[in-house]
Amino acid sequence: MDNQLILLLIVLVPTVGSFVLPVLNCVSVKARNLFALLFVLTSFVLTLAILPVVFSGQTITANFYSLTLHADGLAIFMALVSSSLSAIIVFYSFGYISHYENQNEYYLMVVLFFGAMMGLVFAGNLIFLYLFWEITAITSWRLIGFFREKQHVLRADKAFLVTMFGSVMMLLGFVSIYYQNGTYDLAALKGSQIPNIAVILILAGILSKSATLPLHTWLPDAGVAPSPVTALLHAALLVKIGVYVFARLFIATGFVIDPSWHTIIPIIAATSALVSAGAAMLETDLKRIIAYSTVSQIGFIFLGLSIGNEIGVVGAMLYILMHGMAKGGLFLCAGIVEQNTKTKNIMQLGGLIKTMPVTAVSFLLCSFSVMGIPPFGGFFSKYMVMTAATQKGQVWISFVFLAGAIMTIVYLLRVFNLVFMGQSKTQPVKEGSPVMIISVALLAALSLAGGILIYYPSHFLQITLLQLPGIIR
């Protein structure tokens, strides 16, 4: 099959297929669920099919009328991370969502969200990047408000409005780039000088979508969504969109910006990491704690990307993978706990390791990766990012992130101790359904394997760096 056609199918299969799912429901609920998983897996397999081409150092560009898609190492890496994690989350949904209403809308929105992510990852110009960006906003709005209670809908509206504000600012930034350069095509914009006003506007969109201080408050509130949705938003796709677009514009496209931004952005990232880690230490809502942890960990990714040297970018991209696996596992474990105990308050929980041993061990292993405990993948990623900052003379920034890493250990161990250890404070409970248990166990195993096999993704990213003109060498 032609590589250009494969690239188009990676985007179109889940995007178009999502609208087929409600029709399949008329035939069979199982058929709808299996095809939802199949559409995501198809994108994963097709991305693997063009991996050898990109791994050899080549790129693939496909033009379909006005739609331009471009596959390089950065896009392939992000597509594989997103599609693999999304497939596990959809599989977990078979057990979690099975007794709720609005299942047709759920699967439609999840798969459409994923399709929009694939479109954004491979978008070859700023307008299509923005279009897919907005589709993710609409679908996440519906998913956060899945349960339809007034409080849930208000929080979904808040997430939509905050991220929409950012996206409008980002669009204005894109328009200013067009006004200066006369094109939206990313290939033609490589190495372009970008004015400060455009950088500010684009950063407003990136920071709002990636829930970075001060535009972070919508993410903890999004915990009212079903747990597979929060895993999708916090781990696999939504908050990673912002950091991906940052890497796409300022590293892969090589926008030339004022050098002061390489100091300003790490300061924003450090502040966000420290403040949100402090909030996580004070929270008692299980999913809000994990959400604040996400805000904190995104700071590590921004630090590596904004420093912009080789070790920083590799560390940041590795952490997108490692954090995605581990944090996805934490949210899915939280879903099992919440669904079986009917509470998210960690002060009302305890002793669950006796009745939920697989969930407890999976939560602990995923926590180890987020904490940065060797040999888990999170350790190597965080070490590389902080080393990058030190090499660039920003030693104090490294110490701030070290403090944030220590706080991460404290609040995650606190959660594990209160939820899984000690005496039980709830009625007798049991493990989740088999598909849910398999999902969290798989993510826990991958979090460990990611560190043990760190050479392979890091080697691919080293090759990818050769295609990125914005690397500070």
The pLDDT of residue 222 is 83
Residue 228 belongs to some domain of the structure: yes
In angstroms, how far is CA 261 from the centroid of its own chain?
24
pLDDT at 23: 92
Q: Rounded to an integer, what distance in angstroms lies between the CA atom of residue 398 and that of residue 317? A: 18
What value does the mean pLDDT take over residues 238-242? 82
Number of domains into which the chain is organized: 1
pTM: 0.93
In a domain, 91, yes or no: yes
Asked whether 82 and 236 are in contact (CB, 8 A), the reply is yes
Asked whether residue 23 is assigned to any structural domain, the reply reads yes
Residues found in the chain: 473
In this predicted structure, what is the pLDDT of residue 289?
Answer: 92
User: Could you tell me if residue 473 is inside a domain?
Assistant: no
The predicted-structure confidence for 23-79, as pLDDT tens digits, reads as follows 998 888 899 999 999 999 999 999 999 999 988 888 898 888 778 899 999 999 999
Average pLDDT, the chain: 90
Task: Give the model's confidence band at 473: pLDDT under 50 very low, under 70 low, under 90 confident, else very high.
Answer: low
pLDDT digits (tens, 9 = 90+) for 400-443: 999 999 999 999 999 999 999 877 776 767 888 899 999 999 99
Amino acid code (one letter) for 57: G
Could you give the percent of the chain with pLDDT greater than 90? 56
- Mean pLDDT computed over 116-130: 93
Domain extent for 370: 3-465
Distance from C-alpha of 88 to C-alpha of 228, rounded to nearest angstrom: 10
Strands 67-71 and 60-64 come out as antiparallel
Q: What is the largest CA-CA distance in the chain?
A: 66
* pLDDT over 90 at 108, yes or no: yes
**Residue 328: inside a domain:** yes
Q: Using omega within 30 degrees of 0 as the cis cutoff, is the peptide bond preceding 374 cis?
A: no
Mean pLDDT of 88-116: 91
Between the two ends of the chain, the Cα-to-Cα distance in Å is 38
**pLDDT tier at 472 (50, 70, 90 boundaries)?**
low
Say which amino acid occupies 255.
F
The answer as to whether 470 is a domain residue is no
